[in-house]
Amino acid sequence: MPKINRYVDIDTVEREAKKDYIDRHSPFIHCESSAKAGEKFAVTVKMGNEYSHPDDFDHYIAYIQLWNGETLLAQANFTPGTLGNQKSHAEVTFNIIPTGNKLKLTAMAYCTKHGLWESDPVEVTVEG
């Protein structure tokens, strides 16, 4: 099992280099707090909030996944050069059809140099 890295509030970190490292590798989920059952629901996952990630041949974001609890909902794969070989925020919007009364969304992302990273969970209420 690979080590899973998690975001920590970078305001609590003193060294700028460590803030950069944590932020640019962390996936952040952006979506509404409620969804309608049976209707498309957009969930955007963006890598990094304040700092952007490299897009080099040997150091890039290989994939971003969206999970609902233990169920994989979607995955986007990237190749080096997707972002023009420049530092940027890898970002993808998944359109899902919610079921049940609630979603517990988590994003996972894999950096080819620094491993697997997990977002904070986001709960979404699903209205019938």
The ranges assigned to domains in the chain are: 4-127
pLDDT-based confidence at residue 16 (cuts at 50, 70, 90): confident
- Please give the Cα distance from 119 to 2 (Å, whole number): 16
CATH architecture of the domain 4-127 equals: Sandwich (2.60)
Judged against a pLDDT cut of 80, whether residue 128 lies above it is answered with: yes
Q: Is 0.75 topped by the overall pTM?
A: yes
Cα separation of 127 and 99, whole Å? Answer: 9
Q: Does the CA dihedral 44-122-53-60 come out positive or negative? A: negative
Q: What is the pLDDT of residues 56-114, one digit of tens each?
A: 999 999 999 999 999 999 999 999 988 889 888 899 999 999 989 999 999 999 999 99
Give Cα 7 distance to the centre of its chain: 11
pLDDT at 44 over 80: yes
CA 77, CA 75: separation in Å to the nearest integer?
Answer: 7
Q: Which two tokens stand for residue 42?
A: 């957009």
**pLDDT the model gives residue 118:** 96
Work out the average pLDDT over 46-62.
Answer: 92
Structure-token pair, residue 55: 């897009």
